[in-house]
Structure 1
Amino acid sequence: MARCLDLSGTWEVRVPGAAEAPRPIRVPDEPPVPLGRQVPSAVYRYRFELGSAEVALPGARLELDGVLGGVRVRLNGADVGHRPAGMAPLALPVAGFLRAGSNDLEIEVRAPGRDGAERALWGAYERPECLPAGTYPPGLTGPARLVLFDGVTITGVYWLVRPEGPLVPGEPPAVVHVRCRVAYVATRAVAGRCRLRLRPEGFVAPGVEAAYDVEATPGEGAWDLWCSLPSPRLWTVWERGRPHLYRLEVLFEEEAGAAAPKGAPGRGTPPAGAKALGSGQPAPGVACWTGYVGIRTVEFKDGIFHLNGEPLFCRGACLLPPPRWPGATGGRQAAAFVRRARTLQLNALRVYAHRAHPAVYEAASRLGIVLWQDVPLTGDPRPGDAEALRCQLPGWVQTVGAWPAVIAWSASQEPAAPPLARAGGPAEAAGGSRRWGPVRWPALLRLPVTRRAVRAVARELAELDPGRPVIERAGAFNLWRGGDARLFPGRWTVRAGDPAFLLRVVPYAATLVSSFGVTATGQAAFARAVMEALRRRRAQPSGGGFLFALNDAWPGTGYGLYDAEGRPRPAARAYREACLPARLLAEPPRRPLQPGGRLRLPLWLVNDTARRLHGSGRWEVRAGDRLLAAQTFLCEAGPGSVVPAGWAEVRLPASPDLPVVLVLRLEAAPVVAEAVYLLPLAAGGATTGRVAAAAPEGEEPRSHGPAGNPAGGAFVLRGGGGSPQHSH
């Protein structure tokens, strides 16, 4: 027998030490106090009724899906336990604290202390580039429920795909072996049968069913079960094909009077003479779990993600928390962020230092967008913060790691970007905020402690989830081999803020750009210039980059392509143009062009799709309404490659008053893509016969295969007009 009691609804909340009386709020839809008000803690109270039969059940768990802050729980006046700050779901055993009739539940949620304790575990909600300091109070951000059971309840399933034999890039393996680690909680020693069912979701392909005799020991445990799937269909990003999903069902049924099988407790043993399972409905009281599996492999080599054995160029953006109380965000609102990313032609999102709504992970898995997931360990974490997070990592792996779209973890984030300052908002109190007090130790003395703490979290996460790469610290570049870096020009000079210049100076440090961005001023030019520079890289292969950010987490001027109301900024169009999977690219000049001089720019054809492109390209150079030169040519590119497409060459007009633009158009069915470059002309200047080129004259651009992109030009051009279109 099992029962789940939903505790969402109207609760009573009070602030300790405050003069106001307790007030009713809807949990998790409302915050305990208005946003922007800083309180040390919030105390929630809820009363519910239980019958004597329900109290008699030996198993009882209080499950909290989302909490912002540290938690202390009291039930009927008794202290149940406490948990540090974190964003993973929490579960506390409450058997023995319940009583028949009325039960009083009290949950206290604490904010970080003045000494900075647990501040590092607030993730994006404590990052100054995401939100003004003190915006969100501590509180319950997800549903709460009470689970009552007898015997076994399944708490989560972790799956891992292993192909049989060597993996050939671009081709599905003949057979894959799927490992399922089934986590459970048992009230007593139980023997029974655990069944696995793996079925294709919305397409025709073989499935698999398997049954194992298992035994459960009292308390928490796990069974390791395997099944083999023939002729699988791969999950991949949308431009390479369909993201095939399989539906996984795990059912456990206790066998009355059955003897426990011999062997190690908590491991499955196949029953003798096992037969294919029928498709009947599970009997009442059977513990079950359902989820989705994507047949794919992921590796991280020298700063580049490899999906199904092929290098993946990430055309990505960082996803910030929604601009409202987390519990007030519905599934459709959360999934809208992923749909916007797909509209912008992105194939990757980085979930920036928070746990997103489950609808985000489901939408990304269905639309074929990979997710790089941060755990909320930010700033300079203390050993106590890292230890608290390590206790929560199993919850992260069971919830977030259950989705196929999640391909990687990062154990800690790069240092904060330039903070946002919003007049009239909560940022005015940032100077005296309890969350941003002066640091106690010099940064250099804290560095070894921080590195050891982060390394311990990364090691623990890799052991729990061996199927995904773990990046120890995002943004920590390496000068000698592939790594990831971040680009925030800030107050740099124009030359230092030139992304192409930086990529040429430190090419190996920026194989993968974990975050790059500026605020609304100059955002469109910067976003387009960085992405195009990464796609043209010729110094070494490139793994792509993630623009900071896809959305704003608070009203006002921010880094997002979409503001807090969901309206696109001008940079959204420019970034979409830069992220088309197949398009022509020009390498812009590294210096302003001299009027009357000769222009010679190399052109490239980039193809991120899984099919070979055959078609025609055309370039035009216009001065105002006058066509200076044009050429139509045939072009061809293999899957996942960058190839030279010729040169654009023309004599520039002598008058510097006319705007000169370069228009590139690609027609390779079913792809139609257009891009417009505004070419910079030097003010004044005499006409010379000198050639202004992005590469030395006579040097042909080099071709790269699937692992490489050519390096690129300067951050001196601006996104022009045009109506880029792409059908896939």
Structure 2
Amino acid sequence: MLLHGHWKATANYGATLDFTRIDFDDSGWSDAPVPGHWQEQPEFADYPEKMLFRKTFEHAGTAPGARSFLRFEGVFYACKVWLNGAYLGEHEGFFEPFEYDVTGIVREGRNVAAVFVRCERERDLNSKTQVLGVFGNWDCIPPHMQPGGIWGEVSLEERPPVFLHSPAVDDFQVDPDEAVFRARVRLDGLGGGAQGLRLEWTLSPFNFQGQVLEGEFLLDAVQAADPEASFEIAVPEPRLWWTWDRGEPNLYTLAVRLCGGAAEHEISLRFGIRTVEFKDWILHLNGERLFCRGSNYAPCDARLARADRDLCARDIRLARDANLNMLRAHAHVEPQAFYDLCDEAGILVWQDFPLQWSYAQSVEQSAVKQIRAMARLLAHHPCVAVWCCHNEPFTVMEAYTLQDLIAKNKWKDLFRLGRSMWFRNWNKNVLDLRLREAVREQDADRPVIAHSGIPGLLREGTDAHLYFGWYMGTMRGLDMMARANRRALRFVTEYGAQALPIPEHFRRMCDADKVSDLDWDMLEKRHMLQTNLMHKFSPPRADASVEDYAGLTQWYQARVIRYTNELLRRMKYNPCGGAVHFLFNDCAPVVSWAVVDYWRGLKQGYYALRDSFRPLLPMANMPKRWYPQGDMVSLRLFVINDLRQAFPGVTLRAAFVNQDGEIKQEEEQGVDIPADGALACGRAKWDTADAPPGAYGLILEIHGPGIEHPVVSQYEFELR
């Protein structure tokens, strides 16, 4: 029985618990939708941080011999729950479903569920107290948007006296002939012991044709004090789960039935058979190296109640079409539909725990409990490849860049930032290590990274966040860093630049025709535009149209994405194991690093991401924007192949052309492209002495045996 629809809600709460009584008069309260977020109601738009909710419903009462449970799929952020005046308990954490046994409390006829919900604004951004991740504060969600609400479904469920719950699979031992793993399931209601009960299980293919396996065993040895049954399943000739670019994302369904006497209950779990590990920051899937081509995924919507399966499915299709084999769930946990869809699409997930920047020490106990819950909730998904405990566990500054800190004479802030990044702090060296230990205890089958974005300068770092072309100077500084400290680029999980949404969507934020009419202050405060940096890298002309300026910002963003992707891919496995761009999607109406705006408009950066992440790709080191007429243009050539298949005896063609497509210089060479490798192919050179000033391009093409359609890349530059 779903308890969705209109609930009664108020921000006027007192010290008494009168509101929990069935006969309490809530006629003066507002109507609020559940699932939902209370700030969306006009009367709560200024965001009270604590709310009371009531739901009156009719019920037939618990059936004889059955048990009833009141279940919540998700609440932002902490709550206390009553039913018919009886206190059921409290819960903290936005992503974990929770439930209460209400057998004997729910009654025939009129019932009332009452909930107190708390979700506070984080005022001290370097000492946060709630595990909200990006929902607590982030430069891609406006600070006036707060998440509080009963965002998931609420239901009243009936179950038998003894029932199964919390199915899990782990401890995979995989070889080509056989895969062996452990299945576990917990039982509730074993007050009288498990004598006479048995489990029957069936393992069947979910998305392919194959053998169905079955088994059963008695539960006599299961004790009421630790009501968990575990059993081993051996799968002959297993069909492994692969990313879409390496094979098929094969999935199995494990159905477990409780039988014996009056007990009868069944649950199921969908999963995949695969192994995953990091070796020196190179991901190995089923024992094979895999270069990760990824992007950071923001919440499907900042209002999680809106994040339905259809919207998630649209995003996953866009990610697959952009040639991504990894998404990073950036400092948040998505609804289950997201992970189901990634399982089916063959897209890996780097799963962040919802911690971002700095927290108060009081958060430790709750964070440990919640990270264990995250691992339990998601561990059966084969798409989840990596756990990361904390994103950027260092001090938040008001200024965006090092130059800003120096210009504003913020030397104290600069010292605090450097100290928190490169030296010991409680978040990084105490909290994160405790979280890493907790998640390893829960799941030993995946790599666990204590924190993301710690530079490897004074000591061994982690994955890198390298905003060349935005925070860290020009994009070509990345090449200088690669020469100076190559290991710093061994796995890069953030890079990019802001760009305006497509013009028709940008007008929903700011209705202006000319750049001179734009309200820059409003765009910065309400839509997260970083004005100074935008103007630095995409200088606006006052007489330009908004459409033209949006195009300029998107052109620049696309250029940064392509430059970074191609440079990192040329370093494939030497030492770079992955390039995970920031950011794939907007979750709110903002100006951000995303290549897919909030209304799912595709920026130019999306196409740059797609094209530069093609699994088989000819490339050159990116030309300068212009060369003096008469210079020799000389560009290094490469072919990158992320596929298992080698391509021997193919042709690489390099042609310099003018803006009319006329060939000015052309060369061809035969190349043998190795499987899953990066191949240097010399240089393309053109003496421009006889060429007039103007627009030119370099076209690269590979064709030949095994390549169904020629693969083409094109670069543009000018002679002046």
TM-score of the superposed pair, with normalisation by structure 2: 0.80
CA RMSD, aligned part only?
A: 3.1
Residue 587 (structure 2) pairs with residue 587 (structure 1)? no
Closer, same or farther in 2 for the Cα pair 1:594/1:249, shift >3 Å?
same
Please give the alpha-carbon distance, in whole angstroms, between the structure 1 residues aligned to 2:387 and 2:572.
28
- Partner of residue 484 from structure 1, selected from 435, 443, 463: 463
CA distance in 2, matches of 1:600, 1:490: 23
Amino acid at match of 2:591: T
Change (3 A) 1:40 1:182: same
**1:10-29 equivalences in 2 (<5 Å):** 10-16=6-12, 21-29=28-36
Q: What amino acid is aligned across from residue 37 of structure 1 in structure 2?
A: D
Q: Is the 8 A contact 2:62 2:106 kept in 1?
A: no
Which letter maps to 2:621? E
Match of 1:570 in 2: 604
Other-structure match for 2:296: 318
| Residue of structure 2 equivalent to 1:248 | 254
SS class of match (1:25):
strand
> How many angstroms does 1:124 deviate by?
1.7
After TM superposition, give the deviation of residue 472 of structure 1 in Å.
Answer: 0.8
> What do residues 259-287 of structure 1 show as CA deviations (whole Å, max 9, x unaligned)?
xxxxxxxxxxxxxxxxxxxxxxxxxx632
Structure 1 330/598 Cα, relative in aligned 2: closer, same or farther at 3 Å?
Answer: same
2:379 alignment counterpart = 401
**Do the aligned partners of 2:39 and 2:47 also contact (CA within 8 Å) in 1?**
no
Q: Distance in 2 between matches of 1:53 and 1:108?
A: 25
Residues 1:125 and 2:135 aligned together: yes
CA change 1:245–1:593 in 2 (3 A) is same
Q: In the alignment, what sits opposite 1:473?
A: 451
Residues 1:507 and 2:513 aligned together: no
Distance across 1 between alignment mates of 2:567 and 2:232: 44
Give the drift of 1:358: 2.2
Matches within 5 A, 1:348-363: 348-363=326-341
2:219 match: 214
Over residues 118-145 of structure 1, what are the superposed CA-to-partner deviations in whole Å (9 max), with x where a residue is unaligned?
6441112123222011302411111112
Q: How many residues align?
A: 623
Aligned to 1:47: 56
Q: Distance in 2 between matches of 1:61 and 1:98?
A: 9
**More displaced, 371-380 or 497-506?**
497-506
Q: Is 1:82 the equivalent of 2:71?
A: no
Q: Residue 616 of structure 1 is aligned with which of 647, 651, 665?
A: 651
Partner of residue 80 from structure 2, selected from 59, 68, 72:
72
Secondary structure of the 1:670 match is strand
* Structure 1 residue matching 2:379: 3-state secondary structure: helix
Aligned to 1:61: 69
Kindly provide the CA deviation profile for residues 530-577 of structure 1, in whole angstroms up to 9, marking residues without a partner as x.
111110017922111211111111113111111111010011111111
Say if 2:332 and 2:352, in contact at 8 Å, map to a contact too.
yes
Contact persistence 1:512–1:543 (CA under 8 A):
yes
**Alpha carbons of 1:8 and 1:227: their partners in 2 closer, same or farther (altered >3 Å)?**
same
**For 1:215-294, what aligned pairs fall within 5 Å after superposition?**
215=220, 216-218=222-224, 221-255=227-261, 286-294=264-272
Say if 1:22 and 1:382 are closer, same or farther in 2 by CA, change over 3 A: same
Unaligned runs of 5+ in 2: 15-25, 400-415, 500-552
Which whole-Å CA distance do the structure 2 matches of 1:589 and 1:529 have between them? Answer: 10
1:459 counterpart SS class: helix
Give the drift of 1:654. 5.5
Distance 1:321-1:53 versus aligned 2 partners, 3 A rule: closer
Higher helix share: 2
Q: What CA distance in whole angstroms lies between the structure 2 residues aligned with 1:363 and 1:492?
A: 34
Distance 1:492 1:141 in 2: 35
Counterpart check, 1:149 vs 2:159? yes
Q: Deviations over 1:225-281 (max 9, x none)?
A: 21000001111111111111112212222346xxxxxxxxxxxxxxxxxxxxxxxxx
8 Å contact from structure 1 (residues 200, 245) kept in 2: yes
Name 2:275's counterpart in structure 1: 297
Per the TM alignment, residue 385 of structure 1 is displaced from its structure 2 partner at its CA by 2.0
Alpha-carbon distance in 1 for matches of 2:619, 2:602: 24
Identity rate, percent: 25
Structure-1 separation of matches of 2:708 and 2:330: 34
- Identify the residue that residue 504 of structure 2 maps to in structure 1: none
Inter-partner Cα distance in structure 2 for 1:231 and 1:396: 31
Distance verdict in 2 for CA 1:419–1:251, change over 3 Å: farther
CA distance in 2, matches of 1:20, 1:501: 67
Alpha carbons 2:486, 2:575 under 8 Å: kept: no
Structure 1 residue 446, shift from structure 2 partner: 8.3
Task: Determine the structure 1 residue equivalent to 2:536.
Answer: none
Contact 1:128 / 1:420 at 8 angstroms: preserved in 2? no
CA displacement at 1:93 relative to structure 2: 3.8
Amino acid at match of 1:239: D
Return closer, same or farther for 1:175/1:83 CA change in 2, 3 Å cut-off.
same
Alignment of 1:563-712 (within 5 A): 563-588=597-622, 593-614=627-648, 615-625=650-660, 626-653=662-689, 657-667=693-703, 668-679=706-717
Q: Deviations over 1:374-404 (max 9, x none)?
A: 1112221334323113223443233322211
Distance change >3 Å, CA 244–CA 26, structure 1 → 2: same
TM-score, normalised via structure 1 length: 0.79
CA–CA separation in structure 1 for the residues paired with 2:424 and 2:81: 33
Aligned residue number for residue 190 of structure 1 = 194
1:205 pairs with 2:205: no
Equivalent residue for 1:101?
A: 109
Q: What is the deviation of 1:629?
A: 0.8
**2: distance between equivalents of 1:609 and 1:671?**
15
1:134 is matched with which residue? Answer: 144
Given the alignment of the two structures, is residue 546 of structure 1 paired with residue 580 of structure 2, yes or no?
yes
Is 2:141–2:588's contact at 8 Å kept on the other side of the alignment? yes
Asked whether the 8 Å contact 1:337–1:360 carries over to 2, the reply is no
Deviations 1:67-111 (A, max 9, x none): 111111122223322122332222334445434432211112111
Distance 1:7 1:253 in 2: 31
Cα distance in 2, alignment partners of residues 398 and 491 from structure 1: 38
Residue matched to 2:497: 518
The one-letter amino acid paired with 1:648 is A
Residue deviations 1:394-427, cap 9 Å, x none?
4323332221111111111125999999xxxxxx
Farther-moved stretch of structure 1 (28-37 vs 361-370): 28-37
Q: Deviations over 1:598-641 (max 9, x none)?
A: 23322111111121224332111123333211123333323211
Checking the alignment, whether the CA contact within 8 Å between 1:129 and 1:416 is kept in structure 2 is no
Q: Which amino acid aligns with 2:327?
A: L
User: Paired residue for 1:693?
Assistant: none
Q: Structure 1 residues 663 and 229 mapped into 2: Cα distance closer, same or farther (>3 Å)?
A: same
Contact in 2 for aligned 1:194/1:214 (Cα 8 Å): yes
Question: Contact 1:129–1:419 at 8 Å: present in 2 too?
Answer: no
Partner of 1:399, secondary structure, is helix
SS at match of 1:533: helix
Higher relative contact order (CA 8 A, sep 6+): 1
